[in-house]
Each structure stands twice: as C-alpha cells, then as structure tokens.
Amino acid sequence: MKTVTQSIQIREERSNIVYSAPFTVYLWENSVEMYDGLRRPLIIICPGGGFRCTSDREADTIATQFLAMGYHAAVLRYSVAPACCPTALFQLAQAVQIIREHSEEWYIDTNRILVLGCSAGGHLAASLACFWNEPFIADALKTSPDMIRPNGQILCYPVITTGEFRHEGSFHNMLGNTDCAALREKLSLEHQVTAFTPPAFIWNTYTDQSVPAENSILYMQALRAHNISVEYHLFSIGKHGIATATKVSQCKDGHGVQKECAFWLPMVQNWIENL
C-alpha cells in the first residue's frame, strides 16, 4: 500500500485581506487486496508557534507518526500575525469541512475526524472543539455546524487560558488590534466548554516554563464538570514544544528529545481506538 498527498489552499478574507493557509492531506490509498473499503480516522494537525509562525517540528513530523499507526493525517499551516482572530479558527473549520466533504472519496471514518494542536495550535484546536456549534462560524462559512464538527481533540501542551497562567505572547499575536477584555474572556477556553464539546486527550509536562501545566488542568477540570470524557497525562519532566519527544522532531541543538514523554504517541493511539 502507499500514501497519496492532497495539497489544498484554504482562503479566508478578513477586512478585505485574503489570507491563505496551506492544507496538506496525507491519505492511505484503498487496497482491494488488504482492506477493501477500510475507513480510517483522520487527524488534522495545527502546529504551534505562538501565532507568530507554524513550527516545522510540530507539523509533518507528527503527521508521519499517525500515518504509521494506519491513520490518515493532515497539516494545516493556518494564518498567523498579522492575521487576527478568528481567521485561523475559520480556516480550521474549513479544513474539517473539506475532510467531511471528501470522506467517501478518501475513505475517512466520519466518526473519528480529530483536531490536534500543539501549544498555540492547541488553543486553535480547542477553540473549534468549543465553538463548532456556535452560529458565527457556520454562518460565516455558509455551512452547517455538523460539517465543521470535530469528533475529538488532541492537545499537546496547549495554550488555554487568558487568566493568571496565560501565554501572553500567543494572545498578543492572535488578537492584534482586536484585543479587548470581552474577547479575551471569550478566548479563555476553560470557561467555554459545553455539553457539545468533544472528548479530549491532553498532555503536557510539569517543567514546562513557557505554557504552565495549569492551562491543561483548568481545561481538563472544565471538561469533567461538563461530563466530557478526557484523558490527561502530566509528565514529570520535559521542556515546552517537544512535539514527538523523539529524534524525529529534535532541534539542531538536540532539544526536543525526552524519552519519558514519547509514550504520548502509543497512548493517544489507544485513546483513538476507543473513541
């Protein structure tokens, strides 16, 4: 069997400016010899980068791990500063819509279309998980909420709160000249979980100095309060942004390898299999 790649440009116009987000979809081809008609989960990956960039280390390197599990994967290079909220959110919603529209052609399990985000990308993924059924997204995209609904969320050391434990740089870049108290409250996602928020798999590290573990803990507590299924792992050691935590995604200086944290990949596979 082999994989095929679909390269798509997602365009979003805000204030008469058109922002383009490259969306790369990696698909296992159907095999009449092995698993004719097998529908596979698909994971849409939103790399981190503080809404200043989208990190290479948290993009295709993670996608290849899910391909190795036998899943489809996709990477969204969403728009960052000077693009402001909700540009990236609308782009991610469009990405989910594209996947659902092509689910028959691409042999996708429509009950397991998942959004994954690292760091600031975690805030983006969790935002769609919280807001997918709010009219402002579906109305803007001229679609229905069900077409942009993620079935689950995978959050790797995510930015969540605009409160005490916030990562200020991410919100400064995300909001730009739209920054205000009301919008910051809306984007503090521990306050936005509802009964419609999908299940979550979350992990981070105790020693993360950039995005404190409290971001994940606050969100996990909100999910529990709304009886939303959540699996949460707090690893005792590991810097921020370690992606796969293996040599696959290490920096040129060797940063990013943390064998203790690499277990998140087999654990998330088990979680996906049981969704």
Q: What is the mean pLDDT of each run of 10 residues along the chain (275 residues)?
A: 90 86 97 93 98 97 97 98 96 98 98 98 98 96 97 98 96 92 96 98 97 98 98 96 94 87 98 97
pLDDT at 178: 86
* Inter-residue contact 19 to 13 (CB < 8 Å): yes
Please state, in angstroms and rounded to a whole number, the distance separating the CA atoms of residues 62 and 59.
6
pLDDT at 97: 98
DSSP calls for 33-77: TT-TT--EEEEEEE--STTT---GGGTHHHHHHHHHTT-EEEEE-
3-class secondary structure, 80: coil
pLDDT at 1: 63
Largest separation between any pair of C-alpha atoms in the chain? 57
Burial class (CB in 10 A: 0-12, 13-18, 19+), 30: middle
Please state, in angstroms and rounded to a whole number, the distance separating the CA atoms of residues 230 and 173.
29
How remote is the C-alpha of 48 from its chain's centroid?
9
pLDDT at 252: 83
Which pTM value belongs to this model? 0.97
